[in-house]
Chain A
């Protein structure tokens, strides 16, 4: 079945430090990946995406790295701020015309002041 998280791992970082959130995806045929941020009581918010023909993509304070060899995706947040505290989900698209997303189990990021 689809990926459903039963336990949320937590990453605790000091304000101002860099954060790295990791994700292992399941389908070697996936060709599109997205990172979402979900704050308490809100819906997931689009952060950054990357296609499988790229290894790295940068946004404002965020960088996504894709390693297709080991099916691994990471989100790097520079100079982490208290407002970055949230649950982060990676999602993959199967590469077919359904455009469906499969979500990872999520990581909770806690930023210590």
Chain B
């Protein structure tokens, strides 16, 4: 298994600003992903964080809005850029070995 931590756990931000979320895994994992989850809803995949190269984004998500870095096998960041109230959500990082993924506790973001 893998233990995932995220920082910050929550934040309240003003519209137009950006927030960077950090994800740390306690072991070297092959795969890392970023998800968004609206309260009471399921998880939506934002992108696959690729080590040392550009992330692979899902339909509806673009690099300019959600730049992602993954400099090594244990760490990744997601930036939510130029935020609007519609970006208020829970952002989750996962890491694992092939399809078996373990999740962090999430970052609860409120944009005013």
Structural contact, B48 and A1, CB atoms closer than 8 A: no
Residue from A2, A89, A100 within 8 A of B48 (CB atoms)? A100
Residue from A8, A36, A45, A101 within 8 A of B45 (CB atoms)? A101
Bound state CA distance, A105 and B42, in angstroms?
5
Minimal beta-carbon separation of B26 from chain A (angstroms): 14
> Which A residues form the contact surface with B (CB < 8 A)?
1-6, 8, 32, 34, 36, 42-46, 49, 89, 93, 98-106
Structural contact, B43 and A103, CB atoms closer than 8 A: yes
Bound state CA distance, A109 and B100, in angstroms?
23
Q: Is B98 an interface residue (CB 8 A)?
A: yes
> Which B residues form the contact surface with A (CB < 8 A)?
1, 4, 30-31, 33, 40-45, 48, 56, 58-60, 92, 98-106
The answer to whether residues A6 and B101 also contact, given A99-B31, A100-B33 and a CB cut-off of 8 A, is: no
Listed A/B pairs (28) with beta-carbon separation below 8 Å = A1-B59, A2-B45, A2-B58, A4-B41, A4-B42, A4-B44, A5-B42, A42-B105, A42-B106, A43-B4, A43-B105, A43-B106, A46-B1, A46-B101, A89-B43, A98-B48, A99-B99, A100-B48, A101-B33, A101-B45, A101-B101, A103-B42, A103-B43, A104-B42, A105-B41, A105-B42, A106-B41, A106-B42
Structural contact, A49 and B100, CB atoms closer than 8 A: yes
The answer to whether residues A46 and B102 also contact, given A5-B41, A89-B43, A104-B42 and a CB cut-off of 8 A, is: yes
Report whether over half of chain A's contact residues are helix, strand or loop; otherwise say mixed: loop
**Residues of chain B within 8 A of A6, CB atoms compared:** 41
**Nearest 9 A-B pairs (CB), nearest first?**
A43-B103, A93-B99, A5-B42, A103-B43, A44-B103, A32-B99, A103-B42, A43-B105, A99-B99
